[in-house]
């Protein structure tokens, strides 16, 4: 039976993930001194840690209520791994997408308070995901697809392994958060790292609505639904058929 508390937890957890992770990219990744000579920002390493920390804190705050998915791909991967009720998928994904959008809107509301702030049509301006011209380092659609599929599959393997009955009790949230940190360290230069359709949707939609560019990564959003879901489902199947000890 689905409870409102579960959906509230998924909404808040996904909002926190977007606000903490994407917010760190927008506000803190690059902070130059007045003369522009020194970057005091947190860079790729800091943003990667921020995403991991949102999952760690969110998992311990909300995981006991909803399972702490905060990600449509994770929800579907857990279904394919036999660890989640398919009847709950639709409401969970809706709560996650709405939570992500709420986080994206909070980021924009804060960012727009800075003189001269504008969402442009180049990659990285609002932590959007993309390939080709919208990839931080110009990676192709094929390269981004492979990265997102493989990394999301591994993410699911970590989630399912770290939360198994025989795993170290109480350590799942930490392992999952560290895995997401590592995933970002690998793939921020490739796609700005998605592995989460709700996170990608939030930033792409807000950038499309409030951006001043003629082109936005909204047209590429399909990639960051298809690739993470394919990877998550594959990860769930691999764990269920080859690794599950429960």
pLDDT exceeds cutoff 50 at 193 = yes
What whole-number percentage of the chain has pLDDT above 70? 96
Read off φ and ψ for residue 39, nearest 5 degrees. -95, 115
Q: Tell me: the pLDDT tens digits for 78-130?
A: 999 999 999 999 999 999 999 999 999 999 999 999 888 888 644 457 999 99
- Give me the domain span that covers residue 41: 4-243
User: Domain total for the chain?
Assistant: 1
Q: How confident is the model at residue 212 (pLDDT cuts 50, 70, 90)?
A: low
Q: Please answer whether residues 99 and 15 qualify as being in contact, where contact means their C-beta atoms are separated by less than 8 angstroms.
A: yes
pLDDT at 35 over 90: no
Are 169 and 225 spatial neighbours (Cβ–Cβ below 8 Å)?
Answer: no
Question: Which residue(s) pair with 32 in the sheet?
Answer: 39
**Whole-structure pTM value:** 0.94
Quick one: which H or E segment has residue 129?
none
Residues in the chain: 246
CATH code of 93's domain: 1.20.1080.10
Radius of gyration of the chain (CA): 17
pLDDT, tens digit, for every residue of 124-161? 579 999 999 999 999 999 999 999 999 999 999 999 99
* Average pLDDT score over residue span 3-20: 97
């Amino acid at each position: 039976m689905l409870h409102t508390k579960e959906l509230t937890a998924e909404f808040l957890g996904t909002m926190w993930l977007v606000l903490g992770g994407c917010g760190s990219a927008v506000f803190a990744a690059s902070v130059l001194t007045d003369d522009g000579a020194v970057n005091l920002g947190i860079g790729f390493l800091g943003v990667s840690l921020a995403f991991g920390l949102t999952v760690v804190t969110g998992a311990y705050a909300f995981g006991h209520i909803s399972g702490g998915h905060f990600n449509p791909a994770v929800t579907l991967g857990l279904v394919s791994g036999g660890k989640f009720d398919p009847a709950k998928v639709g409401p969970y994904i809706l709560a996650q997408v709405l939570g992500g959008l709420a986080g994206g809107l909070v980021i924009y509301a804060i960012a727009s308070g800075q003189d001269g702030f504008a969402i442009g049509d180049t990659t990285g301006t609002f932590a959007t995901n993309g390939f080709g011209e919208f990839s931080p380092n110009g990676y192709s659609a094929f390269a981004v697809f492979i990265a997102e599929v493989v990394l999301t599959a591994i993410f699911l393997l970590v989630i399912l392994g770290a939360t198994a009955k025989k795993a170290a009790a109480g350590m799942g949230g930490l392992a999952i958060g560290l895995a997401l940190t590592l995933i970002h360290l690998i793939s921020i230069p490739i796609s700005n790292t998605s592995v989460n359709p709700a996170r990608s949707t939030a930033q792409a939609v807000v950038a499309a609505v409030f951006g001043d560019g003629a082109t936005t990564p909204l047209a590429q959003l399909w990639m960051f639904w298809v690739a993470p879901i394919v990877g998550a489902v594959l990860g769930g199947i691999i764990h269920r058929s080859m690794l599950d000890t429960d």
